Amino acid sequence: MVISHNKFQTHLSKICLKIDLLYNNLCNHKYLTNTHFRTTRIERNPMYNFEHELKIRGFSCKTVKAYLHYNRKFLNFARKSPKKITNEDIKRYLEYLANKKVSNATLSLAINALKFYYTQVLKRKFF
C-alpha cells in the first residue's frame, strides 16, 4: 500500500498528538492522586537526573560528559547540595578556575555547564 507524503504527515501528526495526550494524562494523574511513587536512590541523585535531561534534549556524548564533569567538580568544590547553591558559590568556583589559569574555552564550558543545569534543569535564576 502506497501512502502519499501528505497523508503520512497527517497520520504521523495524529499519532504524535495521541502520544502527547497520553503522556500529559499520565503526568497529571501522578499529581492529582495521593499515590506516592517510589523512587530509587539513583533517581534522586541530581547528576543522574541531569544526565537524562541532557540526553533527552539531544546533547552529544562529549557534551554530556563535559557538563556532568564540571557540575560534579563544582558540587565537590562548594560542598553543598544543588538546592543550596548560591550565586556567590558559582562566582567563587569560576574565580577558582580562572586563578588556576585554565583556558578561556574551559572556563566557557564550565560556565555553560553550570548555567544550563541551574537555569534550565533546576529553573533557578543565576548569572
The total of structural domains in the chain comes to 2
Residues 4 and 60 in one domain: no
C-alpha separations of 22 from 13, 32, 38, 52 in Å: 14, 15, 21, 21
Residues 98 and 67 in one domain: yes
C-beta separation of 127 from 119 below 8 A: yes
Residues 6 and 52 in one domain: no
d(CA 36, CA 42): 17
pTM of the model: 0.64
Residues 85 and 113 in one domain: yes
C-alpha separations of 45 from 23, 54, 61, 84 in Å: 24, 15, 20, 15
Residues 82 and 22 in one domain: no
Instruction: Identify the domain containing residue 95 by its residue range.
Output: 43-121
Residues 6 and 49 in one domain: no
Per residue in 27-83, pLDDT (tens digit) is 444 444 444 545 455 456 778 889 989 999 999 999 999 999 999 999 999 999 898
